[in-house]
């Protein structure tokens, strides 16, 4: 014999019930089947609302009754042939009339007793089981219906009645010993006290009903049919990568169901556990799916963790004080107070010093618990031996669950390290002696991030998801997104990094998609987005609170550079090609570096110097290895190098600068490059990364540009000034030509002194043959004395700059 239970979604409507009929009939061809059904979807909630409204003299409860009646009559009409409907419709209406009479009584009395509430709530299962039972009779002649209340007997603890198993098991065994029907339909959730009053087994009680029946008849299997493919490694609504668990032990299933895995009601396991009856969780809408098999066997698995779950709406209450140290009975008094107040304790931890006890309870019980505890310890509190209890709300408990966890070392460290890297603060920790469960209390706002981070670490082959928020999608930004789109598959398969762009913004529009923007159509998505607002952008990024979040700044905007602090303080990494922050005042630069370390949020800016060249990374490695930089010589502007390599008697300075802009080598405002400030910022960043304290105004900027050109206020005026001052630039070129030299804009640092300016470079110098838009840097250090360490390559252009930003993002993925 098998027991099959179908939940509310499985019997939500006639269409779903037809699926149930097909599943059961197929099973009944091989075994006698007991079918336990829940109320139609949402009906129990409607009954609860109707009862509350009636008790508070709100006449709209009658509208809810009409809604319930229509729902059931419509379902019956779709399942039963017209010729058979008349008597059945009358029976349903009689049940509805009885319900309405009870609600009328609540309305007139203005109260709702627990006993009446149980009776009202029982109507959902009574109606659904009657209709489904009749539907089976239309298809299977040898089928019957039995009211669970006649077999399952309880005490009078209304709302969550306690089963009298001795009497219940005898009644069930006796009934089924003489019932030869191939299918027996029974309502779940409801029972009856020994004095004949309707009771309920608590929300989720239909699972419990099925388990009670399975235990009493020694069923070969208990099947729980729901709307998902079994128990999952995490809540699939919060963790999209969650997968069904194929096999799991009773103990693991109890732990997961206790911690919110809603496909299984926790008490369900007890009646079948004693008799080793396996439980199979299946999907009504995908009956071919394997589901989850629950038994007493512990399966060996490379992964000791079976699932990650959580409980919402938790309050942490801490009782502490010197008066508890060495004093016996403190714990007893605390838990006795809570027991008297029927307050369920979900989580317990106590310091070995006995200085404090910390418990987790539901938010709904917090106020009552605080009052009761402070009252119980009022004497000690008045004597300052114990502090008034500390109450912290809006928390949740997350838990790793696995039978084999006790055989693996380092799981706690791995769990807490993973959470710490994503700035998830842990308020309390507990681990049972069985080591089957490691629990931690965290802030409710971090739940989604915590679950996804842990799931990624324990279940996704170490695939790391990076969530990018991109500010600036001009030439470089466009190339950056193109590169991500192109390499996405490669990164996932080879580096185990899953890069998602969650938000993009330019100066006009911004667009967010928590599931990741489709990069094929990102331009269209951005155009359909909302008006750009930098403050709102930051607020949204913080609110999403995604794991491994990275803010990518691909602008040259000073205002954007001032926001880095806000991101770093939220454990959001910052990757930027914007040089303004790192070349701003030294205190700000150091503050950002310190925040990065403090909040474990990478702050990477490789493209600040040399675009995609590994210049800053090389300096960091030199310093980290104990070397010391004494001198730096460099050509750091790819745009200026391009300009002076192409400026000659055949190409005017004006035309070459124009071409550099067209090819994306200069900033949108070319004065930034030509004034030398861009080069000054770059050498300043290298100096600071080399370990020296310097401000931008300490760098001598020997400008070759006429003051008139630099004073212009628009690009149009600037280019006009270049034409006007053509003779000035031609004279510089001719002077270099006469000395058999080439023009290079050079940055230099030595003995604490730094300068940038246009230099005449002779043939024997390493800079002489620097072509195109290339950069070159020479580092003279303790180890590189006579022959400097040289880095050379393309130092400008959208593609290489984008690749440098991309490399920083991947660097974070590999941390």
Supply the CATH number for residue 643's domain: 3.30.360.10
Q: Residue 240: its pLDDT value, please? A: 86
Of all residues in the chain, what percent carry a pLDDT higher than 70?
97
What confidence category does residue 270 fall into, taking pLDDT thresholds of 50, 70 and 90?
confident
The string of pLDDT tens digits covering residues 725-754 is 999 999 999 999 999 999 999 999 999 999
| Inside any domain, residue 411 | yes
Q: Residue 414: its pLDDT value, please? A: 87
Choice between 1 and 268, residue whose per-residue pLDDT is larger: 1
Which of 609, 644, 678 terminates a domain? The answer is 609
The string of pLDDT tens digits covering residues 596-629 is 999 999 999 999 998 889 999 999 999 999 999 9
What confidence category does residue 467 fall into, taking pLDDT thresholds of 50, 70 and 90?
very high
- 561 CB burial (10 A radius; 0-12, 13-18, 19+): buried
What confidence category does residue 773 fall into, taking pLDDT thresholds of 50, 70 and 90?
confident
Q: Is 80 exceeded by the pLDDT of residue 372?
A: yes
Q: Residue 611: its pLDDT value, please? A: 87
What confidence category does residue 580 fall into, taking pLDDT thresholds of 50, 70 and 90?
very high
Contact 32, 39 (CB under 8 A): no
Q: Is 70 exceeded by the pLDDT of residue 258?
A: no
Q: Are residues 477 and 446 in the same domain?
A: no
- 275 CB burial (10 A radius; 0-12, 13-18, 19+): exposed
Contact 516, 500 (CB under 8 A): yes
Q: Residue 82: its pLDDT value, please? A: 93
Q: Residue 351: its pLDDT value, please? A: 67
Comparing 342-356, 390-404, 410-424, the range with the smallest average pLDDT is 342-356
| Inside any domain, residue 727 | yes
Contact 619, 790 (CB under 8 A): no
Q: Is 70 exceeded by the pLDDT of residue 352?
A: no
Q: Residue 669: its pLDDT value, please? A: 86
Q: Are residues 775 and 747 in the same domain?
A: yes
The string of pLDDT tens digits covering residues 70-86 is 999 999 999 999 998 99
The string of pLDDT tens digits covering residues 665-701 is 887 889 988 999 999 999 999 999 999 999 999 999 9
Domain that holds residue 35: 2-227
The string of pLDDT tens digits covering residues 503-523 is 999 999 999 999 999 999 999
Mean model confidence pLDDT for the chain: 91
Q: Are residues 385 and 349 in the same domain?
A: yes
Q: Are residues 102 and 148 in the same domain?
A: yes
The string of pLDDT tens digits covering residues 298-342 is 666 667 888 898 888 999 999 988 888 777 778 888 999 999 988
| Inside any domain, residue 277 | no
Q: Residue 260: its pLDDT value, please? A: 54
Tally Cβ neighbours within 10 Å of residue 781: 18
CA distances (Å), 789 to each of 295, 621, 684, in order?
65, 13, 19
70 is annotated as an active-site residue: no
Catalytic residue among 449, 682, 744, 773: 682
HSE at residue 86, side-chain half, CA atoms within 13 A, is 1
Supply the CATH number for residue 349's domain: 3.30.2130.10
Q: Are residues 222 and 370 in the same domain?
A: no
| Inside any domain, residue 297 | no
The string of pLDDT tens digits covering residues 101-131 is 999 999 999 999 999 999 999 999 999 999 9
Q: Is 60 exceeded by the pLDDT of residue 433?
A: no
Q: Are residues 500 and 363 in the same domain?
A: no
What strands, in cross-sheet order, belong to the sheet with 774-781?
699-702, 753-761, 742-750, 629-635, 774-781, 789-794
Report the number of distinct structural domains present in the chain. 4
The string of pLDDT tens digits covering residues 160-191 is 889 999 999 999 999 999 988 999 999 999 99
Q: Residue 555: its pLDDT value, please? A: 94
Which of 198, 227, 256 terminates a domain? The answer is 227
């Amino acid at each position: 014999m098998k027991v099959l239970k179908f939940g509310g979604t499985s019997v939500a409507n006639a269409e779903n019930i037809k699926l149930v009929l097909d599943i059961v009939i197929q099973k009944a061809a091989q075994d006698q089947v007991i079918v336990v059904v829940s109320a139609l979807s949402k009906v129990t909630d409607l009954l609860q609302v109707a009862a509350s409204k009636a008790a508070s003299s709100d006449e709209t409860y009658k509208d809810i009754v009409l809604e319930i009646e229509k729902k059931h009559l419509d379902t019956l009409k779709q399942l039963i042939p017209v010729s058979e409907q008349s008597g059945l419709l009358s029976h349903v209406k009689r049940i509805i009339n009885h319900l309405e009479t009870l609600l009328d009584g609540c309305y007139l009395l203005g109260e709702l007793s627990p006993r009446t509430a149980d009776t009202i709530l029982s109507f959902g299962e009574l109606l659904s089981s009657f209709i489904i039972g009749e539907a089976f009779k239309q298809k299977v002649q040898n089928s019957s219906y039995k009211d669970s209340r006649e077999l399952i007997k309880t005490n009078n603890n209304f709302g969550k009645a306690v089963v009298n198993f001795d009497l219940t098991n005898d009644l069930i065994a006796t009934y089924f010993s003489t019932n030869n029907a191939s299918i027996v339909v029974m309502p779940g959730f409801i029972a009856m006290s020994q004095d004949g009053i309707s009771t309920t087994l608590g929300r989720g009680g239909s699972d419990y009903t099925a388990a009670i029946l399975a235990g009493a008849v020694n069923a070969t299997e208990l099947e729980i049919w729901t709307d998902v493919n079994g128990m999952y490694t995490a809540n699939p609504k919060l963790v999209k990568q969650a997968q069904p668990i194929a096999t799991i032990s009773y103990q693991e299933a109890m732990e997961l169901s206790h911690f919110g895995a809603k496909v299984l009601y926790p008490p369900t396991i007890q009646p079948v556990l004693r008799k080793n009856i396996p439980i199979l969780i299946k999907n009504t809408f995908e009956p071919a799916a394997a589901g989850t098999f629950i038994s007493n066997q512990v399966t060996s698995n490379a992964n000791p963790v079976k699932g990650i779950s959580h409980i919402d709406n938790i309050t942490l209450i801490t009782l502490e004080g010197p008066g508890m140290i060495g004093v016996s009975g403190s714990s007893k008094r605390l838990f006795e107070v809570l027991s008297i107040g029927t307050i369920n304790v979900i989580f317990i931890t106590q310091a070995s010093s006995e200085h404090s006890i910390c418990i987790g309870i539901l938010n709904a019980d917090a106020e009552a618990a605080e009052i009761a505890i402070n009252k119980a310890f009022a004497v000690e509190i008045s004597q300052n031996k114990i502090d008034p209890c500390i109450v912290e709300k809006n928390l949740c408990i997350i838990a790793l669950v696995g039978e084999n966890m006790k055989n693996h070392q380092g799981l706690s460290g791995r769990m807490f390290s993973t959470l710490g890297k994503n700035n998830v603060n842990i308020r309390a920790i507990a681990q049972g002696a069985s080591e089957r469960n490691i629990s931690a209390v965290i802030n409710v706002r971090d739940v989604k991030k915590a679950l996804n981070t842990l799931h990624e670490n324990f279940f996704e082959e170490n695939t790391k998801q990076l969530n990018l928020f991109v500010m600036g999608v001009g030439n470089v930004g466009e190339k950056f997104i193109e590169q991500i789109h192109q390499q996405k598959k490669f990164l996932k398969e080879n580096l185990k990094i899953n890069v998602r762009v969650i938000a993009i913004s330019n100066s006009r529009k911004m667009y967010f998609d928590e599931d990741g923007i489709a990069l094929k159509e990102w331009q269209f998505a951005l155009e359909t987005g909302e008006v750009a607002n930098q403050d709102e952008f930051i607020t949204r990024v913080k609110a999403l609170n995604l794991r491994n979040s990275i803010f990518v700044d691909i602008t040259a905007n000073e205002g954007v550079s001032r926001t880095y602090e806000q991101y770093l303080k939220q454990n959001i990494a910052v990757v930027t090609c914007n040089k303004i922050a790192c070349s701003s005042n030294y205190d700000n630069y150091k503050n950002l570096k310190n925040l990065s370390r403090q909040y474990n949020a990478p702050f990477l800016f490789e493209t600040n110097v040399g675009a995609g060249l590994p210049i800053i990374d090389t300096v960091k490695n030199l310093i980290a290895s104990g070397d010391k930089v004494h001198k730096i010589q460099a050509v750091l502007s790819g745009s200026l190098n391009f300009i002076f390599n192409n400026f000659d008697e055949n190409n005017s300075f004006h035309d070459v600068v124009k071409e550099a802009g067209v090819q994306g080598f200069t900033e949108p405002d070319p004065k930034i490059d030509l004034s030398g400030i861009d080069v000054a910022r770059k050498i300043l960043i290298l100096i600071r990364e080399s370990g020296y304290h310097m401000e931008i105004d300490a760098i001598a900027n020997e400008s070759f540009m006429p003051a008139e050109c630099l004073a212009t206020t628009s690009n149009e005026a600037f280019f006009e000034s270049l034409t006007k001052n053509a003779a000035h630039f031609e004279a510089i070129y001719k002077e270099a030509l006469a000395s058999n030299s080439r023009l290079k804009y050079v940055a230099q640092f030595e003995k604490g002194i730094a300068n940038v300016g246009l230099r005449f470079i002779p043939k024997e110098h390493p800079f002489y043959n620097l072509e195109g838009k290339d950069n070159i840097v020479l580092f003279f250090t303790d180890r590189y004395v006579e022959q400097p360490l040289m880095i050379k390559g393309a130092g400008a252009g959208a593609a290489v700059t984008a690749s440098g930003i991309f490399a920083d993002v991947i660097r974070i993925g590999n941390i």
